[in-house]
Structure 1
Amino acid sequence: MPVLPNPVQDAFDYGVDAMQRWILLLDVLRRRGDQFIEHSKQGKPPVLTFSNEIVMDGRTLKRPCNYMLLRILPDPAVGTDLTKRPFVVVDPRAGHGPGIGGLKPDSQIGTALRAAHPCYFIGFHPEPVPGQTLTDVGMAEATFIEHVGKLHANANGKPCVIGNCQAGWAVMALSAVRPDLMGPIIIAGSPLSYWAGVKGRNPMRYLGGLYGGAWLAALASDLGNGRFDGAHLVSNFEKLDPANTYWKKTYNLYASIDTEGPRYLDFEKWWSGFFLLNGEEIETITDELFVGNKLSTGGIVSKDGHRLDLRNIRSPILVFASWGDNITPPQQALGWILDLYDSVDEIRSREQTIVYNLHQDIGHLGIFVSGRIARKETAEFVENIDLIDLLPPGLYEMVIQPKDTAGPGADLIAGNYITRFEPRTLDDIRAMGTNTPEDDRCFATVSRISDINKGLYTTFARPWIRTFVTEPTAQWLRLTNSHRAQYYLFSHLNPFMAPIEQFADLVRENRRPVQADNAFLKAQAQVSDAIVQSLDNFRHQRDSTVERLFLDIYQSPLLQALVGLAPPGEEAPSPSHVRDEAFDALIEKRTAEIKSRMNEGGLREALIRVLVYARRIKGGVDERAFHTLRQLRNEYPEAERLPLNQIRAVFREQVFLMLIDEAAAMAALPRLLPDQKSRLDVVALAERVLASSGPLDDEQRARLGEVEAILAGDEGEDGETPLRIVPRNGGSSVTEAAAEISRATTRRHAGSTAKAAESSSSKAK
């Protein structure tokens, strides 16, 4: 017979379980508080889970700062391949301390180590060096990365630098100033276009306007006696999601107290590490970036007159963002591209390669700490970093899909996923959502209001505040900050927490968890869901109110006129794309130089041209083709192989030749391949590379047929007239020409393919 439910017994069991979980929860909070105190006593070292050693200390540099370079010691079971490019992970200095990029084995650092890459980490100490500026920090980071490059001068490529959140825009700015310094850049969850967003979804961008601009950052710095408390930044972060801050985070710990404690404490060790910034640093960030939005518009000018222009970056840029990120939505992560460029051709003219990958739901912190992100997206970034370094200039989306183990070229793919790089246009970025001109006028008004308020504060209030604030006062304000106080409250410093440890030990010895089907446990979950829903509703109402209030204030024509904005249509509130006449002249010179080498090269250059021509219809780049090319390269003695940086230069030049004058570049193939064997080889090798991604379609075979006709010389076999290349724009389509090409090449193709297969292994380089 079925056992009937016993409400009295269920209530008793649930009551025991709930009381035990409550005591265990208090014990975890006690350990969290003691961990916070102990970590502070140790000087708040990076919370890395990997063994490391200090390589350079920024406090010893000519212009000292509180940054440091660490070498991550490799896993003895994996070792390090010194031929692979090093990875340098830079963590954000945005309230918390360093280490989030290596908080656990499945992380950015862990992924790079498992792939046998040398790995380094740029972290920082809790307190800034007196007088240090963002420029000093940038110079230190440049010194560190340059040092890593020298340590691995024989590696196949310059260091790959990963910049998380705040560190992302700092790395981008550094690369714009020192374009020769680093290899590919991976910026994860990094805001670069601070005004961008979508109405109804990105309320954080409105807060600067409602606070009256950047003067509050100056006030907070003065109250800290010249230093800004990172706990204020943490507070802003937590306010974005009150349901998680005030309920879900602690409830999830309580509901799963038997298993969740270690993970919770590991994360809290990082979350509770509040670091300081100099007043100049935070004021520059708020003035120039958050409120001024000057990074992507070329508005930042150094004291020596140099303009910071992101168009100067020559390293490939990989942007990783998420639709679930309420700190850095995709619009802020990618909007800088629209700020700087009118077309993809402009991106190519700057020899820039920009790749983006968008996750559907992961939150801001999950981008850096989620294990599933590390096992999929981060792993694919690391595995394909050399391919990213070789991509032709342009704009791409990185598409990651599960690998078909029975599909073509499956043996070429090491992991569980296959990666493609699909060409994109600026319209694809615009489709994510952009500001209207009216929106930009609102934010431009905020920027001017901020300057006015900052000037008023600096002139009339700052002198008085600095007179009365002393270092003991600043320390007392930091200690009594609510974010720190909660850790002291639940630590051994609170005498009421003294018996909790003994009670918790007793509970663990007599633990009686309730059954999952307990009616009261189910009711508990329902109550929790209702609380979360009510807090989410509050957040939605608050955010919509913030947006309406912001727009009501800053859309006012009177306010816009008072701060000096001309009427709509007469003045652009945001800077337009700046024309660089010197760069235009350089482009013309560079184009002429490339065209002058149209007839230079050999099998390597010819193969690149053929592959570009054959792949132009599909457009995308598949990692299997890249791995096949790498296999071809490895088939030859090491002395005959070009270093990766030289291959990249050759590859890019050939791509540019195809973009500048495709017909002339293809017509020059016979001059690059003077002998018959090399001509057979290039077609066979091209077919091998193309076939790695799947069987060739009719269009690809038609294009290879055209190549064979070109290589046949002025007159084809049997006196047939060689076929013309299908024009890049206009003219008959490849599909229409396929039948004619097939008839002209069938006899020749049958014999040449067999010969080429025999000779390809000994001739291609």
Structure 2
Amino acid sequence: MAETRTTRPQAAEAPPSPFALQARLAEIYRQRCAAAVQGCLDATLAAQEAWAAALKPVTPAEALGDAATYWADFAQRSLLFWDTMRRRGNDWLAHEAAGKPPLLAFAWEIVADARGFARPANYALARILPPDGVAIDADKRPYVIIDPRAGHGPGIGGFKPDSEVGVALQAGHPVYVVIFFPEPVPGQTLADVAQAEAAFLRLVSERHPTRGRPVVVGNCQGGWAAMLVGALDPEHAGPLVINGAPMSYWAGNDAENPMRYAGGLLGGSWPALLASDLGGGVFDGAHLVENFEYLNPANTHFGKAYTLFSKIDTEPARFLDFERWWGGYYLMNREEIRWIVDNLFVGNRLAAGRAEWEDGRIFDLRAIRSPIILFASLGDNITPPQQAFNWVADLYPTTADLKANGQVIVGLMHESVGHLGIFVSGSVARREHAQIVDLLDYIEHLPPGLYGMKVEETGQGIGAGAGPRYDVVLRELEVEDLQRLQKYARKDEVPFEAVRQVSELNAAAYEAFVHPVVSAWVPREAGAALRALHPLRARRWALSDLNPALASVAPFADLARAHRVHRDEAGFWAATERRSAAGITAAWDFYRQMRDAAAENLFYATYATLSNVLPRPEEAAAATGGAPDLLRDAMSRLAEGGFTDAAVRACLLVARLGRRERRLSTFKRIRELAGRDIGLLDRTASEAARIVRQQAAIVEHAPDEAMASLPDLVRTAGERRRLLDILDRLGGQLALGPEQRALLGRFSDLLAPAPAPVPAGEHRRKAG
């Protein structure tokens, strides 16, 4: 996780003059256009140089042979390509006919169906059945995985054997997946969905009364759904793992994150309302998928098809598997999409504490008491890291606020993987997600704070087929330093407040003048017909056996597979094909960069100007919730507690003098050496976390008093010997610094075994 500092714009800051603002926007636009032109020229030149380097002298016979094999291969690849597209269409039709079940790579069974709840929703809880050879440990906490309902169907968290589901199963954890059905229950709201997911969490807790509460994993929009559940029912939610989840929707950087401008350029939420009304009161998830495809036209209109065409002998299986999930379009109620757009996409109310799930009842993210792991990627242009992390600084303006609230937040940043790769990449599952699962066994023993997580390769595993070994390094960060991801210290978010106000005006006008007419004229049946004709669906059913031109392709494709002729990859014609493909991609990328630059310039020219005219809301004072009470309670218990409290305090005092890095391998070593003796493992995870939070607050704010009052917690000679024995064991096996070893000597002097029990506070009176 990058170390950044979030500085909110001050309401009293003088806005720039309109002329200075427009001049600055014009200069940025000029730079963007120049960069787009230069990027296109560079890509074209690189393709030309690669083509020229591949040329070599050949005889006429060799040239003729190269041309013959290439064009024979080209014809066969074309036939196999269209056969694969036909199979994609047939798969789509079969998936639709089957009711679009979740595309999980594991067997599963439904254990609870929210369609029968008092507040029904089209959600269900499915238990993953462990595959052969995988044993589930009844003592390990269960996992509950929430996939995004953002146009596609459920299953992305368990799409492959190497996945979030797979690594949790391999570690011996029971795994549940929150799935949903293609059509919403009439009248359901996001509040109904959140309540259903909270009920699922309680059910899992009842089914698995383990030491730790269930881990909740949320992917993309399932991430903010997991946060809502954690806020609604903090007593049953265990650690939250939030993967690629947009939480601060206004955040991002210019030239990197074009999707954040869409709401403003469309005038706010009214297009979503119109789409719902045209759908007969139902919003089509295909619109959301279309927005994703809009981001990268080079891949949408050329790259995906060309990759299949150029690798037609190996790519179809992967292509067809992914397209089954990508082409499964699910629906939402009108009120659901309106809540999402108003409160999240445009309103950005969640982190600000203004997102209501019922009248007067808000989702308070500060109520979450479980540790939170945030996983984002610098290569993600759908949920950029700013959207994944900035809410932390919105909720906790300072590190002191975060620690005083007893919260543990761990940030993990990938350098390059794209948005979907966070969930479906096998290499990410084996490296990052597997280490997250490993860390979660220890995360409740971390003192409150903000940590950056890094996965390091430490060597190769032992045995045939063993992969690399990894270790996790946690480095303590400061909330005040959360700045490096920002170009403009978040001043570029100011115009989005104007977007919110314009959206509210446009939505009110739409509801008053357009909605009554459209909803009266468009019946639900017409909406179903429009959905069937949506371009994303049409390009699937039109390229299937329903199309007579493709229905007879299969036998010819089989003949081509049986008599494949492969081109010479080093030949002239293959090199020319690669050059042409690179040129087409460069042209599409140039179009994308110019389009995004124009859209961004229009956005800021419009809303940055409006933000100088429209009233700006007063900045709310940073809420501290119950933080002072938590700190006051901890300090009032300075001399209270037992052996476990003393052991935890002593370890924290030692750790305080060390480096700001903590290693998972060190946690494992400490547990191996003294885990049972300290006593945390005999308690519930929530009780262990409470002890760590309380002792961490004492050590953080009063280290000298914490040290001096340690004898009050271990009053007998036996307890003192036990504690000193633990400290000696750890000191002899762990790499400690000079200051830490000197502190161990002070423990020996302070905790010299007493001959008899020492009443609480007795050592203070004697000292007086």
The interval holding the TM-score normalised by the smaller chain is: 0.7 to 0.9
1:576 alignment counterpart: 620
Could you say which residue in structure 2 is the equivalent of 1:384? 439
Question: Following the alignment from structure 1 to structure 2, what is the Cα–Cα distance between the partners of residues 405 and 238?
Answer: 39
Structure 1 residue 555 displacement after superposition: 1.6
Secondary structure in structure 2 of the residue aligned to 1:657: helix
Residue 215 in 1 paired to residue 215 in 2?
Answer: no
Give the aligned partner of residue 387 of structure 2: 332
Shift of 1:577: 3.7
Distance in 1 separating the partners of 2:415 and 2:729: 35
The answer for the alignment partner of 1:594 in structure 2 is 634
Q: Of 528, 532, 535, which aligns to 1:475?
A: 528
- Structure 1 stretch displaced more, 195-204 or 650-659: 650-659
**Equivalent residue of 1:187, what SS?**
strand
CA 1:291/1:640 → structure 2, altered by over 3 Å: closer, same or farther? Answer: closer
The residue aligned with 1:647 is 688
Q: 2:654 aligns with which of 579, 589, 614?
A: 614
CA distance in 2, matches of 1:240, 1:683: 60
**Are the structure 2 counterparts of residues 17 and 162 from structure 1 closer, same or farther at C-alpha, using a change threshold of 3 Å?**
same
Can you list the C-alpha shifts for 1:531-568, whole angstroms capped at 9, x where unaligned? 11221121111111111111111121xx3465x415xx
In the TM superposition, residue 576 of structure 1 has moved relative to its aligned partner by: 2.9
| Alignment-mate amino acid for residue 422 of structure 2 | I
Q: Distance in 2 between matches of 1:610 and 1:577?
A: 36
For 1:700, give the aligned amino acid: Q
Amino acid at match of 1:206: Y
Q: What's the CA shift string for 1:120-152, capped at 9, x where partnerless?
A: 000100000111100110111011111001000
Could you tell me which runs of 5 or more consecutive residues in structure 2 were left unpaired when the two chains were aligned.
Answer: 1-56, 755-768
**Residue 145 of structure 2 is aligned with which of 73, 89, 107?**
89
Q: Counterpart of 1:297 in 2: which secondary structure?
A: coil
Q: What is the RMSD computed on CA atoms of the aligned residues? A: 2.4
Quick one: which amino acid aligns to residue 749 of structure 2? A
Count of residues in correspondence between the two structures: 693
1:58 — aligned with what?
Answer: 114
Matched with 1:702 is 742
The answer as to 2:167 corresponding to 1:126 is no
Kindly state the Cα deviation for residue 219 of structure 1 after the two structures are TM-superposed.
0.3
Query: Is the aligned partner of 1:33 residue 2:123?
Result: no
Return closer, same or farther for 1:441/1:697 CA change in 2, 3 Å cut-off: closer
In the other structure, the counterpart of 1:440 is: 493
Deviates more, 1:215-224 or 1:647-656: 647-656
Of all paired residues, the percent bearing the same amino acid is 42
**CA contact under 8 A between 1:127 and 1:275: conserved in structure 2?**
yes
CA contact (8 A) 1:633 1:641 kept: no
Q: Which residue of 2 aligns with 1:417?
A: 470
State the shift of 1:623 in Å: 1.1
Distance 2:579 2:725 in 1: 65
> How far apart, CA to CA, are the structure 2 residues paired with 1:687 and 1:540?
62
Deviation digits for residues 160-197 of structure 1 (CA, Å, limit 9, x no counterpart) = 01011111111112211221121000011100001111
Q: After superposition, give the CA deviation of every residue in 1:309-358 in whole Å (9 maximum; x if it has no partner).
A: 21111111100000000011110001111212221110111111111100
- 1:59 and 1:640 map into 2 onto residues whose CA distance is 39
- Aligned match of 1:410: none
Q: Give the corresponding residue for 1:520.
A: 573
1:628 to 660, 669, 681: 669
> What TM-score do you get using the length of structure 1 for normalisation?
0.87
2: distance between equivalents of 1:195 and 1:524?
42
Aligned residues of 1:331 and 1:434 also touching (Cα < 8 A): no
How is 1:153-552 mapped onto 2 (pairs within 5 angstroms)? 153=209, 155-404=210-459, 416-433=469-486, 436=489, 438-552=491-605
CA distance in 2, matches of 1:670, 1:138: 47
- Cα distance in 2 between the residues matched to 1:263 and 1:302: 40
Return 5+ residue gaps in structure 1 as ranges. 407-412, 715-765
- Return the letter of the residue paired with 2:414: H
Q: In 1, distance between residues paired with 2:598 and 2:680?
A: 67
Q: Deviations over 1:701-737 (max 9, x none)?
A: 22223333333499xxxxxxxxxxxxxxxxxxxxxxx
Aligned equivalents of 1:437 and 1:6: distance in 2? 61
Question: Counterparts of 2:317 and 2:490 in 1: how far apart (Å)?
Answer: 50
Call closer, same or farther: CA 1:226–1:216 in 2, change over 3 Å: same
Cα 1:502–1:627 change in 2 (3 A) is same
Tell me the distance in 2 between the aligned counterparts of 1:637 and 1:669. Answer: 15
Give the aligned residue type for 2:656: R
Partner of 1:565: 615
Distance 2:486 2:280 in 1: 41
Q: Is the 8 A contact 1:196 1:435 kept in 2?
A: no
- Tell me the CA shift for residue 75 of structure 1: 2.1
Match of 1:662 in 2: 703
Q: What is residue 194 of structure 2 aligned with on the other side?
A: 138
Does structure 1 retain, via aligned residues, the 8 Å contact 2:379–2:415? yes
CA distance in 1, matches of 2:728, 2:582: 58
Residues 215-263 of structure 1: CA deviation (Å, up to 9, x unaligned): 0000000000000000000110001011111111111111111111111
Match of 1:672 in 2: 713
